[in-house]
Amino acid sequence: MPHSKLINAIDIGTSKITTIVGQYFDTEDKLNVIAVSSIPSLGFRKGQIINLEQASLTLTQSIESAERMAGFNINEAAISLAAPHIETLNSHGVVAISNP
């Protein structure tokens, strides 16, 4: 049986939120899409969240729909979010731990 890896992705857009689940077979270099969910997004305007409750509900609905189709829970995913006001900052944190 070929070895496979599950790949999950969520695209958060102004008009819809799409969740996709794929199964990648590295021996064949092939990706099979096993679940897709696309829900009209509520709570967003021009890439910005204007209603947190509606945005959260829409995102949850899209993920849960894809999970039902795939038959398992999505624990991690790559997220696509395009908006001019978003920026990232890479940092390195250190935490001091005393003796137990």
Domain ranges of the chain: 4-81
- Tell me the CA distances in angstroms from 70 to 30, 37, 40, 63, 85, one per residue in order: 18, 10, 20, 10, 33
User: pLDDT of 37-61, one tens digit each?
Assistant: 999 999 988 778 899 999 999 999 9
Of the pLDDT bands very low, low, confident and very high (cuts 50, 70, 90), residue 2 is: low
Of the pLDDT bands very low, low, confident and very high (cuts 50, 70, 90), residue 96 is: confident
- Which one-letter DSSP state was computed for residue 62? H
For the chain, the average pLDDT equals 88
What is the number of H-type helices and E-type strands within the chain? 1, 6
Q: What is the pTM of this model?
A: 0.77
Q: What CATH number is given for 4-81 in this structure?
A: 3.30.420.40
